[in-house]
A and B are shown apart, each in its own frame.
Chain A
C-alpha cells in the first residue's frame, strides 16, 4: 500500500540535520513503503513559545530539508499564534512563497481554544491550507501544561471555524474522549501519531469519524514506522479503509500526488 506519514520531525532537538542523516531517514521510510513525509519542524528546540526569529530559523530548516529532498519531504509552517495577526500572516506567507508550505503546525505556544487562534484560521483561509494542532487529553496533565490543547479545545476551534481543515494530532493521546469530541465535525481529521499503539483505538476512530477522517502518522523519531504501520494492518479494517488512512486522505487534504 502507498503511505504518506503526516507527522514527522526529521530534525529533533537539533539532531538529524546532516544531509546524510536525512538520506538515511528517506531510505528508512521508503523501506517501509512511506512515499512522502510531512515535516513539522524541530518545534521544541527553543521551548514552547518561540519568538518570530526562532520560528523563522525552524521554518527555514524545514524548507531546506524539503529543498534537499523535494520529492520526499513536504513542509508545514510552524507558528506561535501569540505573536499576533501580522506576525502569523507574514510567516505563513513567507513559508508558502519560499517553501511551498502545505500546512500550519501548532504545538504548545497556546491553547487551541484561545482567541489568538483566529489569526491561524485567517491564514488557513487565505492560503487554503490545513492546520495540524498538537492535542492530548488533559486528564493526565500536570501543572504548567495548560497550553497543551485538550481534544475539547481543538474541537472548539473546529466548531468556531467550520471552513478550516484541522488535523487533531495524536489519536492515542486524545483517546476515546478525543474521538468523541471530534465526532460530527467534518473539518477535523485525526492523525494516529505518537504514543504506544493502544489496541482498538484506530477501529474506534474509524467507526465514529469514518475512515475518511483518520490519517497515518508516526511522530518520528520518537516513534517507529513499523509499529504504526503494523497497528493499522493489525486493526480490524477493510483494505479500502487502510488505503485511505495510509495515503488517500492526506494526499487529498494536502493536494499531493
Chain B
C-alpha cells in the first residue's frame, strides 16, 4: 500500500492548466500589442521588444511612428490591462475564501464605490483637468478611505463577524454611492463626461505613469496574498475550524483584506470599474486547479490578466468609430456566464 501516494490526478491537471495559462499570456500580450486602429507587424514588434531588452535579433522595422505607437500607446495599455485583470481576479479569489461565498467581490469592501466618490470629487473640484494624475490618485484615496471606514465601523463593538463586515461594506458602499450621485448632479455638464468615462471602466490613453502607479500595489498585494495562501485555505473552512487549527483568525483576515484593498484600489483607480473579472476568473479556474490558494491565486492572476487583455482588444477593435467601454464588455461577457454558472450550481443542488 502506497501511503505517500503519487500526486493526485487533479493536481497534475492543475499544473497543466497553470503551464497553459503561463504560455498563453505572452502570446496574448503580443497579439494585443499588434492589433488596434493601426496594426503593426508581429515580427517587427518582436524585434523591437528584443532590441529593447538588449537581446540579439534583426533591427526593428517598425519605423519611428510604429515605435511610438508600440512603446507609448500599446505596451503601457496592454500591460496595464494584464495588471488590472490579474489583480482583480486575485482579489476575487481571496475574498471568496474569506467570505466563504463564490459571489464575493471587490464591491463588498466598498472599494468601487469609494473610488468612484474620490474620482467624482476630483472632477467636481476641477482638479482632474488641472493635475494630470488627480483622478486616479483621488480614486485610490477614495477607495482606501471607504475600506478604512468599513474597517473602523465594523470594529466599533469588538472584532466583527463576517456578517457584520459584509453589511458594513454594503452600507458604506451605499453611502458613497449616494455621495457620488449628489456630486454628479452638482457637477457642470462638460465635466460629467470625464467621470462617466472613468466610471464605465477603460484603459484609453493610459501611460507608463499609470503602469508605475498600479504595478507596485498590484504586484506587492498579489505576492502578499500568495504568501497568505494557507491562512486563506483555513478561513475557507470557517472561523471555528481555522481558529482551532491555530490560525489567528482576525489578524489573518485583516491582513488579507488590507492586501486585497490595495490591489483593488490601485486597479480601480487606473481603470475605473471593470466588473465580473473577480468573479469569473476564480470561478472558472477553481474546478480545474482546486480551491487551494497556492494554485488558485497564481492561476487567477493569469486567467484574469488574459480575460482583461482580450476584453481590451475587443474594446479597441470591435467598433471602428468609437472605443467601447471596457467595463461594459466584461459585464457583457461576465453577466451571462455568471447566470449560467449559477443555474448549473442550483441544478446540482
Whether chains A and B associate is no
